[in-house]
Structure 1
Amino acid sequence: MTYARHKLSDNLETLPRMPSWVTSGRTEPPEDVAFLSGAALGHLHLVLGRGEVPQALLRERLALLAAEACVAFSGRSERAGELRDAVHLLRPGDLPGPAGDTYLAWRRAVERPVSIKALGRALPTLEPGQIAAWLDAGKGAPVTRAAMALEAVLREAPRAEEAALILADAALAQTLGWDHVVPLLAAGLKRADLRKQGVDLKLACHRALVSSAAEAVRLSTDLARRAAHLKAVAPKLRAKGAGDAVEMFLTCDAVAPSALPLPDRAARRLCDRLVDLGAVRELTGRDTFRLYGV
């Protein structure tokens, strides 16, 4: 076990770190900002190819950040904890509310490989033909295509920030050759950026991607470490269904005990055991209606 733990630690140490010069924060000429965003995306591309990074979990955590940003763009005050509650504590027949709908859209956007059908699940009010047209609104390099998709949506539907940002990230993913949407732009852009057009919007997207790609790399390293620890302690879990429960924690941002494939009491005990082992965290700080995550 000690050898295995050291080997896991060694593997995580090989995850490449974002060079400090990429995120120096200096104000740069437009061509330099474009170079830095390309470097940041190239570095993230390497990290996303690493097997030790829990990809589905990373996308879910980034989807939460994107949803939080979109909710703020709409003038609402819900933060990450409230978005989790709105989705994970839903009872049959309940509606998630506007903020919860935004979070659900982002979760669905990252769930399946990029396609018109998958994006239609995330944006059910849009026709497939409209999604395809907006997705293909731009040509050229990845950030240029993403910015043009963003601008095309907001030109025709100025209040559709959520759809615009999902489709912009989808265009970015397709151009970079990524199978899934990786939410990046929403968390990096400012509300005022969404009113920009042309070269100004493209520059804003470049700036946003420098910071958001760096955050995605940092989060990848953190989640890889946490996932490795959860896998290491999994053999200690004797509850029937514990293996399936561990897989849920490795793919979902947050899990309610009632969602686990165990009886209620056994599920709560398993969550408490994983917290004691330092493998998962209780995310709400409450005594009841708790949520857990890596």
Structure 2
Amino acid sequence: MTFARRDHINDPETIPRMPAWVTAARPDTLEDVAFLSGAALAHLHLVLARVDVPHALLRDRLALRAAEACVAFSGRPERAGELRDALHLLRPGDLPGPAGEICLTWRRAVERPVSIKALGRALPSLEPGQIAAWVDAEKGAPVTRAAMVLETGLTEAPRADVPALILADAALAQAIGWDHVVPLLAGSLKRADLRERGEDLRLACHRAVVASAIEAARLAADLARRAAHLKAVAPKLRAKGAGEAVEMFLTRDAVAPLVLPLPDRAARRLCDRLVELGAVRELTGRDTFRLYGV
């Protein structure tokens, strides 16, 4: 009985969907939205506790979504495709540009367990004491705490959207008990929301958490199924270094053949084989300078 239950937990097809009463509701009051955000976070918490979810890959993809939103907040035109290019097609010594830097910042923020040191690595422009003061000072329920951190950051540094949003998500993660930052706020906040304060900002944060938790849970279930398929076809790959390459696909939003632990031609053949097996997708639609991801 114990073994059957464990197999059930590890089956990605058993990941429950967010309840319809959460996804379909359109509440207006702070009280009702706060109730829904709590329900959405509770469901997402259960999803993230599952071992079949590729957690590093999920965080990396959510980081891309958050970066895309922050780039849009800044008025720049780059979207997900351009951000992937800025990160994965850089040559040694090249600079990623302003949009690429935003994407790199979010990726660094989700790579390591939440700590002042890890956040300082992602946000080198902030002093550790300042990070600690922003993240640790606020108490209360998770979303309320995150909203207060966001308000503090935006008030003290009005143009520093990215650090404020990262630290707000860090506060949210700490309040819930997650080991890593899970980007939720930036992807569903509107640019106008960042000008709000007090109760209006809390309302916007609750709404953003509901929308992003729904999307994160859906994405987690999708990636769990895709990761299971990739692991299933891995034994068919005979190239030396294929096992290490598979692990890279399971932890990164996008992978360029040139970073795989194989010679260039073999790496491209491996990627084509994985596409043929339905285990990864080509993400760019180009004939050259291709990127691949689960």
2:156 corresponds to:
156
Q: Which amino acid aligns with 1:266?
A: A
SS in 2 for 1:233: helix
Cα contact 2:53–2:221 (8 A) shared by 1: yes
Q: How does 1:1-294 map to 2 (within 5 A)?
A: 11-294=11-294
Give the letter for the 2:161 counterpart. Answer: E
1:3 match: none
Aligned to 1:4: none
> In 2, Cα distance between the equivalents of 1:292 and 1:273?
12
Cα distance in 2 for residues equivalent to 1:129 and 1:104: 22
Query: Contact 2:9/2:50 (CA < 8 Å) preserved in 1?
Result: no
Q: In structure 1, how many angstroms separate the alpha carbons of the residues matched to 2:145 and 2:10?
A: 38
The secondary structure found in structure 2 opposite 1:35 is helix
2-structure distance, mates of 1:76, 1:123: 21
Alpha-carbon displacement from aligned partner over 1:22-81 (angstroms, at most 9, x marks no partner): 021423321111000000000000000001100000000000000000000011110000
CA contact (8 A) 2:10 2:51 kept: no
TM-aligned CA deviation for residue 8 of structure 1: 8.7
Contact 1:173–1:180 (CA<8 Å) still a contact in 2? yes
Amino acid at match of 1:267: A
**Could you tell me how far 1:159 is from its partner in structure 2?**
0.4
**CA contact 1:137–1:152 (8 Å) conserved in 2:** no
Q: Which amino acid is the alignment partner of residue 118 of structure 1?
A: A
C-alpha displacement of 1:121: 1.2
Letter in 2 for 1:202: R
Please say if residues 137 and 148 of structure 1, whose CA atoms lie closer than 8 Å, have aligned partners that are also in contact: no
- Specify the SS of the correspondent of 1:86: helix
- Which TM-score applies when normalising by structure 2? 0.96
CA contact (8 A) 2:165 2:185 kept: yes
Which structure 1 residue ranges, 5 or more long, are not aligned?
Answer: 1-6
User: Tell me, which stretches of 5 or more residues in structure 2 are unaligned?
Assistant: 1-6
Count of residue pairs brought into register by the alignment: 288
Native 8 Å contact 1:8 1:228 kept in 2:
no
Identity of counterpart residues, as a percentage? 81
The CA RMSD measured in Å over matched residues stands at 1.3
Deviates more, 1:20-29 or 1:267-276: 20-29
Using the TM superposition, give the Cα deviation of residue 188 of structure 1 relative to its aligned residue in structure 2, in angstroms.
1.1
CA contact (8 A) 1:137 1:145 kept: no
Q: How far apart in 2 are the matches of 1:138 and 1:88?
A: 37
SS of 1:185 mapped into structure 2: coil
Residue 3 of structure 2 corresponds to which residue in structure 1?
none
1:122-177 deviation per Cα after TM superposition (whole angstroms, max 9, x unaligned): 11111111111111232111011100100001001000000000000000000000
